[in-house]
Amino acid sequence: MSLDGYIADSNESLDFLSLVEQEGQDYGYTEFIKSVDTIIIGRKTYDKVISMGYEYPHTDKDVYIITRTERPAIGTYKYYTGNLQDLVYSIKSKPGKDIYCDGGAEIVTELLKNHLVDELIISVIPILLGNGIRLFKDGQTLQKLNLVNSKQFDRGLVQLHYKCVTN
């Protein structure tokens, strides 16, 4: 997110991320994604990635695209219209690696509300966008955090890694 808390600007653009693009620097993504076998992604975020001309390259993982409208699966990617809590409980009840919630402020909000987030990794981009789509909206639940680590990178990105404190 930007320092002022936006994950997209007021045109829903992610252009500000180019400020921290650097050849050979993936900000730990390759290592991180190895620890994951399931991805939950909001339908809007998924469509955004595809509309930007990217493939969604996680064919080796269980991918759930969260939506309100039933749609046929895309290869191994399933659209999921059910209860998000039930989905997470069900995945967590089986042995496996971590679940990665790949963006979507609505999904993150819903998961935080139900205390279903174990860890947060927030990359702070060195810009005040001034306006846009917030990751953390008003009117949410209090959640204490423990800092695991913070890391700063050449282009001024600071990555903050927290564990959610269970009460």
* Residues within the interface to a second copy (CB under 8 A): 3-5, 19, 112, 120, 122, 124, 126-131, 134-136, 138-147, 149-150, 152, 156-158, 160, 162
List Cα–Cα distances, 79 to 43, 135, 159, in angstroms.
8, 23, 30
Cβ at position 26, least distance to a second copy in Å: 19
- Minimum separation from the CB atom of position 138 to a second copy (A): 5
Contacts of 90 (CB under 8 A, 6+ apart): none
Q: How far is the CB of 12 from a second copy (least distance, A)?
A: 15
Query: Residue type for 22, please?
Result: Q
Q: Which is nearer to a second copy, 82 or 130 (CB)?
A: 130
CB 165 within 8 A of CB 146: yes
Q: How far is the CB of 133 from a second copy (least distance, A)?
A: 10
The nearer residue to a second copy, 90 or 146, going by C-beta atoms, is 146
Q: Which of 103, 7, 123 is nearest to 46 (CA)?
A: 103
Q: Of the two residues 87 and 158, which places its CB atom closer to a second copy in the complex? A: 158
CB 116 → a second copy: shortest distance, Å? 14
DSSP strand pairing (133-134 vs 6-8): antiparallel
The residue among 65 and 105 lying less far from a second copy, judged by its C-beta, is 105
Q: Exposed (0-12), middle (13-18) or buried (19+): which is 160, by Cβ within 10 Å?
A: middle
34 vs 151, beta carbon nearer a second copy: 151
